[in-house]
């Protein structure tokens, strides 16, 4: 027997969330919950509002309507850095790596940057704990063998893996990845899938992904957006048969 009262708060709860850019409703009336530990894929054509929704959840933009809760706490009006401190980690659709620095140095900066007083970075104080954490992150994102290589020497796929590591540096409870497989070759995709599979089960994951071969195997539930709104929500095995999804992807072959 389960009781409603005993139900834990969802990791993320969106209620009527919207964002206008002038007359354009980039995100409109989005309502859904993501359970603690759930893996959720967000699909949709270009311009559907997926990245804007991420920006609203992370606090890069404020919503013009609606409410956002993180583990039951209303975070709708909090600035981005306070949301990060409460456990939201994310990657960006466009890479934000320091290409002249090594993998380990990038992760070290992310670990240091995730802390209050991050501007002490200008006078780095060697901290064994932070260095050990950066080193451990190289393993978590399967880059230990290239830890001392500059980012400039990494493959595209390895850079994508490092971006996930940067997002993990703040010990997120909710990890949000914006098109982690974008631009990956078919040969690079399995490594990303392995990395995603190895993430701890209690980490809630939200994944924007055009590539169904990455999205579907990594999702418990799939949300499809179009013109700023949620049009379909279903399990990965049912989503492919949905006529709306079929139409959006114009009959593109899916896994
Ligand atoms: N800062 C902004 N100012 C004005 N319009 C914006 C802004 N950001 C996004 N938009 C518009 O909002 C709509 C949704 O864009 P968004 O980037 O969220 O789509 P997306 O689903 O992530 O698309 P893609 O798959 O191409 O990344 C688009 O019409 C876009 O031009
Ligand atoms: Mg986008």
Residue 139: inside a domain, yes or no?
A: no
134 Cα to the center of ligand 1, angstroms: 33
Residue 239 in this model has a pLDDT that exceeds 60: yes
Residue 3: inside a domain, yes or no?
A: no
Task: Spell 201-236 as b/e; 16+ CB within 10 A means b.
Answer: eebbbbbbbbbbebbbebbebbbbbbebbbbbebeb
Atom of ligand 1 nearest to the CA of 225: 21
* CATH classification of the domain holding 213: 3.40.50.300
Instruction: Considering every ligand atom shown, identify the ligand nearest to the alpha carbon of residue 48 and give its number.
Output: 1
Ligand 1 pocket test: which of 19, 24, 208, 228 has the largest number of ligand atoms within 8 Å of its C-beta?
Answer: 24
Q: Looking at the whole model, is its pTM more than 0.75?
A: yes
Residue 40: inside a domain, yes or no?
A: yes
Host domain of residue 192 = 12-101+169-250
93 Cα to the center of ligand 2, angstroms: 6
Residue nearest to atom 7 of ligand 1 (CA): 21
Closest alpha carbon to 234 in 252, 213, 215: 215
Domain count along the chain: 1
pLDDT tens digits, 123-138: 456 678 899 999 999 9
Residue 29: inside a domain, yes or no?
A: yes
Instruction: Considering every ligand atom shown, identify the ligand nearest to the alpha carbon of residue 47 and give its number.
Output: 1
At residue 127, the pLDDT reads 79
Residue 164: inside a domain, yes or no?
A: no
Residue 154: inside a domain, yes or no?
A: no
**d(Cα 38, Cα 56) in Å, to the nearest integer?**
20
Residue 229: inside a domain, yes or no?
A: yes
Residue 108: inside a domain, yes or no?
A: no
Q: What is the mean pLDDT of residues 34-42?
A: 96
């Amino acid at each position: 027997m389960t009781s409603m009262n005993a139900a834990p708060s969802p990791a993320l709860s969106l209620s009527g969330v919207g964002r206008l850019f002038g007359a354009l409703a980039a995100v409109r009336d989005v309502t859904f919950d993501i359970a603690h530990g759930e893996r959720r894929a967000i699909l949709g054509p270009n311009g559907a509002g997926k990245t804007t929704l991420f920006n609203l959840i992370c606090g890069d933009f404020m919503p013009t309507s609606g409410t956002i809760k993180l583990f039951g706490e209303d975070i709708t009006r909090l600035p981005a850095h306070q949301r990060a401190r409460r456990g939201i980690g994310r990657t960006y659709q466009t890479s934000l790596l320091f290409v002249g620095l090594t993998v380990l140095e990038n992760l070290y900066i992310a670990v240091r940057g995730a802390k209050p007083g991050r501007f002490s970075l200008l006078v780095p104080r060697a901290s064994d704990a932070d260095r050990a954490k950066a080193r451990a992150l190289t393993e978590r994102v399967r880059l230990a063998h290239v830890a001392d290589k500059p980012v400039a020497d990494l493959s595209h796929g390895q850079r994508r893996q490092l971006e996930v590591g940067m997002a993990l540096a703040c010990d997120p409870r909710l990890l949000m990845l914006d098109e982690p497989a974008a631009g990956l070759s078919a040969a690079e995709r399995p490594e990303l899938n392995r990395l995603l599979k190895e993430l701890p089960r209690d980490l809630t994951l939200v994944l924007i992904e055009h590539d169904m071969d990455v999205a579907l195997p990594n999702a418990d539930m799939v949300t499809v957006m179009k013109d700023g709104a949620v049009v379909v929500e279903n399990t990965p095995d049912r989503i492919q048969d949905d006529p709306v999804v079929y139409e959006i992807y114009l009959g593109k072959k899916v896994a």
